[in-house]
Structure 1
Amino acid sequence: MRNIKHCSCSSMEQLHHDIVERILERLPAKSLGRFKSVSRRWESTIESRYFQKRQLICGGDDPQVLLVYLSCDVAAPPNIQPVVSDEAQVTAVKISPTESENCTFVSQTSCDGLVCVYSFYDSGLVANPTTGWSRCFPPSRLQQLIHGLQENFFELAYRFPLLGFGKDSLRDAYKPVFLYNSCELGLDNVTTCEVFDFSANSWRYVVPASPHRIIPCREPLYFDGSLHWFTEGQDETKVLSFHLHSEAFQLISNAPLPFPGRVHPEDIALCSLSNRLCVSLKTDLLRLIWSFDPRNNNNNNNNDKTWVKLYIIDLNTTSFWFGSTHTLALSALSLSPTTNKFLLYDREYNEHKQHLVLHDPATKSYDLLLSAKSIGLPLSYVQSLISI
């Protein structure tokens, strides 16, 4: 990038534009925003969908950690600011979702540099913090139903489901998805699934929806083209997947999760570590993390795969920051695929604090990166030029 900054425009013009494109697509997305001013042709190239997809593949850096803060200042576009400069590559973003102050949720997974923000009742927002681009989408039918019930909704003791966000890679389509248990809302089916279609700017139902109830208070995880939820069962918990291209549901394994009977929903979490789908469980003294059969990656039959213990985190060690008890499951965020280090995130409701800790399983070390009343919601994130 330094060479491009100091070379003359005339020397660049002597290169065939195909070669210029190949050079540009290997640069960071943040730098390319400035290079659009070089010429109209460069601007057209950088703003083309084909180039942006190529840049995401060729010029994308290792995942960063994005700390998402929600702002009520609708005049302020999304922007990013560095928080700490180390191997964790932590940055912060302040996003102004809508004109409403009800937008208080952020989907757990960013996708191709896009972040999805939503609320109980109002429109949601997909934003690219790197470029400042954003686009609103209207409330789902579930949100309209909840809004119509008004105070009666709280009498149902219904736990609001959390929005999933991911990508149908075959159609190059990004999809916000609500999957929710139906009987409490007077609906006949077991669950109801709504998908937002950006091309039609509307929500639609997926039929048939899942025949398995889900645990609504846990974040759905986007991984490898599918969204994943924990199922709600009296005897055992499983992981349900929704493939974003075929829009079909299936349990990812006939084998039950490696949990000892029924567990509290707030003690379990889904995450992606080392490019593997993982589940974690909090016990009194340990945080246990299993991956979905990493030894049989070439086996396409999910029903033949099992869960293999991947990491054990000693809560006696982390309690120095997190406290002796955890009211929520520790969230884990993967960093560079070339290292097994990852981040742990927790919230202390009693102390009103949030913590971000870097963990190295090889050395069993823990390094505190951030600790404050509010550090935002951490997401694994890559910078991109993508918009919808």
Structure 2
Amino acid sequence: MELKDVVEENVLPFLPAKSLLRFRSVSKQWDVWIRSPFFARQQSYSFQNLSGFFCQGFDTNPSFLTLNHSAYGVPTPSLRFLPDRVDIKSSSCGLLVCQGRTENNSYYICNPANETWKKLPEPNYYHGLESALVLAFEPSLLNLEPHYSLVCAVHLTGLATVCFELYSSETRTWKCSAEMCAELGDCSFTGNGFYMKGMAYWETSRRKILAFDMKNDVYGIISLPSDCPPRGMLAEIREELCYIGISNYLAWGYTIKIYTGADLAVRQQIDLRLEPVVTKYVKGYRVLPSLRGDAVIILAGGCIYSYSLKDERVELMSGGGVEILSTTLFFPYVNSLISVA
């Protein structure tokens, strides 16, 4: 094989979308190959590195915080290519689900890297802006189209009851679940929803986690421990569901607690002292959502750190410039070429 063919087969699929879009100018052959749907599927399957975070506070436009300016990026971080001002609701493997702020609060699925998008049909229930969503997209080399699912936890108007409605890109239809949750009472959803192995999870204002099995169409409730620090995050570590909480005990000292198992008991406690970084932004701390793996992502003092559970090493991922507001949500993003059908 010629060197260019080796690179085309064994290197390009493992590169981020921003780099690949530049490499289209290398040759006509690369241009055709990188623009092909088959290569997009292959790249979305092979490249799944955390590239940055989409951030959005209350009544603000989205923005993108890249972890590498030269490698990762999107052409329009504010998502102005969509036909409406939107609020980001969930992310999964390069795709975002957004909800419009006008008219029927329509849902849009999009990939900001290539600005492809699709407006979803109107659901059966009324989904207000307070509804909670989880987007499930698992890249595969077998499917000709990038199928994804969306599950929504919806408060019924005038009732302290949560119902569930699911959208499938394969059937392009909404389906109402027969399950309804009344045990949580008049609660609200906090933070990000989380997807793992066919399950959707949401943290609620009552310090309980609402879980929904998308395959078997049943829900469950998991109580958070009383000593769990606020502003925590659901995550998957070592293929197990866990809840990560963080608290501040000194100027730059932090305690991380990792809760795992069916009872969400403390399995690990980590004391960290992070080096202060000069920043003009508001100081604060929280755990950020991450992808599958053995790392905890921490936002502290306007900087983003990664703590490796494997070798107990701290890495500075972004050295300042992150403004922390109480309403700001962070959505992990992978720089993928996958197109929305």
Bin for the TM-score computed over the shorter chain: 0.5 to 0.7
For residues 25 and 315 of structure 2, the distance between their equivalents in structure 1, rounded to whole angstroms, comes to 44
Check if 1:100 corresponds to 2:93.
no
* Matched letter for residue 271 of structure 1: A
Asked whether the equivalents of residues 341 and 359 of structure 1 are also in contact (C-alpha less than 8 Å), the reply is yes
SS at match of 1:54: helix
Check if 1:177 corresponds to 2:161.
no
Consecutive unaligned residues of structure 1, counting only runs of 5 or more, are 5-11, 73-77, 147-158, 294-302, 347-353
Matched with 1:369 is 319
Higher normalized helix content (fraction of residues): 1
SS at match of 2:189: coil
Change over 3 Å in CA distance of 1:64–1:311 after alignment to 2 = farther
Matched with 1:186 is 158
| Percent identity of paired positions between Structure 1 and Structure 2 | 16
Higher relative contact order (CA 8 A, sep 6+): 2
For residues 199 and 28 of structure 2, the distance between their equivalents in structure 1, rounded to whole angstroms, comes to 40
For residues 30 and 272 of structure 2, the distance between their equivalents in structure 1, rounded to whole angstroms, comes to 55
Matched with 1:149 is none
Deviation at 1:193, TM superposition (A): 0.9
Matched with 1:152 is none
Asked whether the equivalents of residues 89 and 97 of structure 2 are also in contact (C-alpha less than 8 Å), the reply is yes
Change over 3 Å in CA distance of 1:343–1:267 after alignment to 2 = closer
Larger Rg: 1
Matched with 2:297 is 343
* Matched letter for residue 78 of structure 2: K
Asked whether the equivalents of residues 211 and 219 of structure 2 are also in contact (C-alpha less than 8 Å), the reply is yes
SS at match of 1:52: helix
SS at match of 2:45: helix
Deviation at 1:250, TM superposition (A): 4.0
Q: Map 1:1-388 onto structure 2 (within 5 A).
A: 4=4, 24-33=12-21, 34-35=23-24, 43=32, 47-49=36-38, 51-58=39-46, 60=47, 62-68=49-55, 84=68, 91=73, 93-96=77-80, 98-101=82-85, 103=86, 105-108=87-90, 110-119=91-100, 121-143=104-126, 146=128, 160-167=130-137, 173-182=147-156, 185-186=157-158, 190-210=161-181, 212-213=183-184, 215-230=188-203, 237-244=207-214, 246-251=215-220, 256-260=223-227, 267-273=231-237, 276-281=240-245, 285=249, 288-293=256-261, 307-312=265-270, 330-334=286-290, 337=293, 341-345=295-299, 355-360=302-307, 362=312, 369-373=319-323, 378-388=330-340
* Matched letter for residue 241 of structure 2: L
SS at match of 1:271: strand
Deviation at 1:216, TM superposition (A): 1.8
How many residues were matched structurally?
Answer: 316
Consecutive unaligned residues of structure 2, counting only runs of 5 or more, are none
Which segment drifts farther, 36-45 or 92-101?
Answer: 36-45
For residues 37 and 323 of structure 1, the distance between their equivalents in structure 2, rounded to whole angstroms, comes to 43
